[in-house]
Structure 1
Amino acid sequence: MPTDVAGKTLTVVGVAAHREAAFHRWAEMGLSVHAVVSPETRTESWQHLAAGVTRLNALDTRGLMEAIPVSDGVVTLSEFSVQAVATLAELLSLPGVTTSAANVARNKAHLRRVLRASGLDGDLASAEIRSERDLEAFFAIHGEESYVLKPADSSGSAGVVRVTSFAEAAQRFKAVRRWSFGGDVVIEEYVAGPEYSYEGWVQGSEAVLAAVVRKRTTADFVEIGHTATHAPNAGAWALIRSALRLLGVADGVFHAEVKLSPDGPRIIEIALRPAGGLIPTLVSLTTNVDLYEAQARIAVGAHVFEPVPNGTSAAIAHVVGQPMSHASPETLRAISRLPNVPEVYQAPRLDGDLAPLSGNDARAGYALAHGVGPTVESDARRAARMLADALCIDMTPVT
């Protein structure tokens, strides 16, 4: 591993769940990392790898400026800190995605408006919704088709639902709105077709693609599976590059979700931080690059190496639902002895402690598969079904 960034200081503002791999990679790089997290953030899985941890409101830019140590770079591992970190980077004259890009990407309504104005949204019917009256007006114009109702500023598929009528949309509107920090809801035309995420980075305004990830979701868009591929759709990648240029993204990682509809690729969302759902692990297993390493190198002004696939496949299958039992260590070991399954994980929560099935936080565990050949995804799904059985979760309705 290159040592050209060893000894540099990195501040990470906001750390979501399952991000310990970032801290391990940064430690291997020789970085001195200081984390700034909200008071309720759990840190036990990575705190020993950080030079320091400060607990405060990670959205308070003024407080952050006063609290963070002198740093060579600033990054985030949380969707909700993207804007604060972009602002910090500009104030400190450090590499970053730009505040204007962060402000657009963080709000799904704003992103849809910007894409539409530049002809990059495929003429999808969409509108910002603040009341049932707005919903009624939307359906009066566009008719009762299949639409997606979602909070404008949430993350992790939280509160995202599919509706087919005004009555259904009105019935679910308040529940969706509760997931929005600003009370803003977006309704947009449902896009049919397979869904993928494009993972990579921008450095010096040049976009680089590291991997393409095929996604499986429930009917209400909770993500239950990811498989890394390295065969981008040319139209989708061109569309994403155009969107990144339009947003003015200068330096940073991106996670762009697209669907390949019968009418061509359609952008669903763009996030300016590393993907969740352990997708960075899939990228590092199947290429010579690590998204967390790329993120840190960009932040401290170091060059990021070109990604090269290594010929292997990797997939994660998630278990979602309320566990009614607990998988024993013996069961976990038995599952991990399946072909191509090096890792099985169950969330340390029982007795209704998981979130309702309204977002990715409803995951009760996962199985990771990695190997060569066409069976890797099915190996992950088989292992996840065995874990679900051990947890007494019926995955049939969501798979």
Structure 2
Amino acid sequence: MLRALLSECANVVVMSASNGTSKPTDRQASITRHVFTSQQHLVASAHEINRTSRISAIPTVWEGGVEATAALSAALGLPGNSIAAARAARDKHEAALCFERHGVPHPRTMVASATTEECSRIESEFTYPFIVKSPWSTNSQSVTLVRTREELNGALAMLKRLYSPNRDNRLFGLYAQRAAQQPVLVQEYADGIELNIDLLIAPDAHRLLGIFEKYPMHGPTFEEVQSVYPPRIRASEMEECVQAAVGAVRALGATIGAAHVELRLTKGGPVIIEAALRPGGFLTPLAINHLTGVHPVSALARLLMTGEFPDIESLPAGVSCLYGAVNCGIEGRIKSISGERAVRNSVPGLSMFKLLKQPGDRLVPLPLGSDYHIASFMLVGSRRETLETAAQDIRRRVRVDVE
């Protein structure tokens, strides 16, 4: 990612809440790191940097930085989405209200609290099965499909634990900040093929960067398993889904930048699940770069600096790409991981494979946690079916022992 940014910029300033662990690049001297402790500290640091080295653009690459990026761009007078749009994208209830106002297809949604006293009210509004989750969930954390009153009680109890002030959560203690209200999002369940769509948008235009079909998950949790191109849908359906994704991003109030939209293609057409105002995470940028020759993060930086889209007229035909993870659904500490050498030596079409965990690391799977990926991989070739078989082979070969 840093190399991609350096292809467009002379210098890159990485602003984060921690020092990070990224490896050095061949242009490490062009990268400066700033650690901030609050949004006020972040804005003050950006002003100080801007006085000595003019900042040209502020692309965000992480969901937890979307609002801060909007605030920075506004403070420095740089192109970017409004703070209101960023906040709507981060808060799934606000997003649902935006979608409703603009006629964007979206599951019916209501807000409740994480108490068992709410069960009767929820059941009076929704028919089982339905979705329960935090309004700020990422990486499928907290997202649960409930089919009975017993499962609903369990999901609400899980969310109460997430709101515990003593719990270490991913988004700067975001759940703890809402501990008093303990809001819960309840949504109708939309069944169908799930797609990831990555876009760049400008005030009067958009550019499609990638569209991937997600591995089918039917609950009770929805772990990120794999995404594959091309999706098994007709060209007319793909165009309908892309237009729905663009409509969702516009409904949030976004005007310029990147968007990652997740939707389900139901029998009645596309239904938006959520829309994020940042590039797709995990290996999505790597897969898009392989398919199009364009890295989404560098394309985002160029768009913000020049207003120009990358030269992508259409997505390629006759090629396939699959990226995914080896996951573990057991909570505990890793004793051992095996199979890496077998994967590297014998899996056809393997473009990359990386162990994300090592012995001693702790796993906290869904729905309470989001730390369940053991390894990541990407496969490339000409036939989707061949890549799907290879992905199954990778998961069969990688073994994890947890205590």
TM range (shorter): 0.7 to 0.9
* Pair 148,302 (structure 1): closer, same or farther in 2 beyond 3 Å: same
Q: Is the partner of 2:364 in helix, strand or coil?
A: coil
CA contact (8 A) 1:224 1:320 kept: yes
Question: Does structure 1 residue 52 correspond to structure 2 residue 32?
Answer: yes
Inter-partner Cα distance in structure 1 for 2:277 and 2:255: 11
Give matches, 1:1-12, under 5 Å: none
Inter-partner Cα distance in structure 2 for 1:139 and 1:85: 39
Give matches, 1:16-165, under 5 Å: 22-39=1-18, 41-44=20-23, 48=28, 51-57=31-37, 60-68=38-46, 69-70=49-50, 71-122=55-106, 124-132=107-115, 133-143=117-127, 145-165=128-148
Inter-partner Cα distance in structure 1 for 2:30 and 2:359: 29
Give matches, 1:232-271, under 5 Å: 233-271=238-276
| Higher normalized contact order (CA 8 Å, seq sep 6+, divided by chain length) | 2
* Pair 154,216 (structure 1): closer, same or farther in 2 beyond 3 Å: same
Inter-partner Cα distance in structure 1 for 2:19 and 2:397: 29
Inter-partner Cα distance in structure 2 for 1:331 and 1:375: 21
CA contact (8 A) 1:136 1:166 kept: no
> How big is the shift at 1:360?
4.8
Deviates more, 1:84-93 or 1:372-381: 372-381
Q: What is the TM-score with the length of structure 2 in the denominator?
A: 0.83
> How big is the shift at 1:328?
6.2
Task: Find the counterpart in structure 2 of residue 17 from structure 1.
Answer: none
Deviates more, 1:245-254 or 1:326-335: 326-335
Task: Find the counterpart in structure 2 of residue 224 from structure 1.
Answer: 225
Q: Is the partner of 2:125 in helix, strand or coil?
A: helix
From 317, 322, 337, give the equivalent of 1:326: 337
Inter-partner Cα distance in structure 1 for 2:228 and 2:251: 28
Inter-partner Cα distance in structure 1 for 2:340 and 2:105: 48
Query: Runs of 4 or more off by more than 6 Å in structure 1?
Result: none
Q: Is the partner of 1:77 in helix, strand or coil?
A: coil
5+ long unaligned stretches in structure 1: 1-21, 394-399
> How big is the shift at 1:81?
1.1
> How big is the shift at 1:331?
2.9
* Pair 388,330 (structure 1): closer, same or farther in 2 beyond 3 Å: closer
Q: Identical aligned pairs, as a percentage?
A: 20
Q: How many residues align?
A: 365
Report Cα offsets for 1:143-173 as digits up to 9, x if no partner: 3x11111111121111111101233212221
Report Cα offsets for 1:71-118 as digits up to 9, x if no partner: 111122211110110111122111112212111110011111221233
> How big is the shift at 1:45?
6.1
Inter-partner Cα distance in structure 1 for 2:242 and 2:7: 31
> How big is the shift at 1:363?
0.7
* Pair 50,331 (structure 1): closer, same or farther in 2 beyond 3 Å: farther
CA contact (8 A) 1:35 1:52 kept: yes
Task: Find the counterpart in structure 1 of residue 169 from structure 2.
Answer: none
Inter-partner Cα distance in structure 1 for 2:65 and 2:335: 34
* Pair 51,125 (structure 1): closer, same or farther in 2 beyond 3 Å: closer
Inter-partner Cα distance in structure 2 for 1:251 and 1:375: 36
Task: Find the counterpart in structure 1 of residue 167 from structure 2.
Answer: none
Deviates more, 1:359-368 or 1:84-93: 359-368
From 288, 297, 300, give the equivalent of 2:302: 297
> How big is the shift at 1:369?
0.4
CA contact (8 A) 2:348 2:390 kept: no
Task: Find the counterpart in structure 2 of residue 371 from structure 1.
Answer: 381
Q: Is the partner of 1:369 in helix, strand or coil?
A: strand
* Pair 94,106 (structure 1): closer, same or farther in 2 beyond 3 Å: same
Q: Is the partner of 2:288 in helix, strand or coil?
A: helix
* Pair 139,49 (structure 1): closer, same or farther in 2 beyond 3 Å: farther
Inter-partner Cα distance in structure 2 for 1:128 and 1:392: 39
Task: Find the counterpart in structure 2 of residue 14 from structure 1.
Answer: none
Letter in 2 for 1:26: L
> How big is the shift at 1:30?
4.4
CA RMSD of aligned residues (A): 2.4
Task: Find the counterpart in structure 2 of residue 15 from structure 1.
Answer: none
Inter-partner Cα distance in structure 2 for 1:371 and 1:263: 33
* Pair 345,43 (structure 1): closer, same or farther in 2 beyond 3 Å: closer
CA contact (8 A) 1:205 1:251 kept: no
Inter-partner Cα distance in structure 1 for 2:284 and 2:272: 19
Inter-partner Cα distance in structure 1 for 2:358 and 2:89: 32
> How big is the shift at 1:56?
1.6
Give matches, 1:356-395, under 5 Å: 356-358=365-367, 360-389=370-399, 391=400
CA contact (8 A) 2:337 2:358 kept: no
Report Cα offsets for 1:226-254 as digits up to 9, x if no partner: 11227562322222222222222111000
> How big is the shift at 1:332?
4.4
CA contact (8 A) 1:235 1:265 kept: yes
CA contact (8 A) 1:129 1:135 kept: no
> How big is the shift at 1:379?
4.5
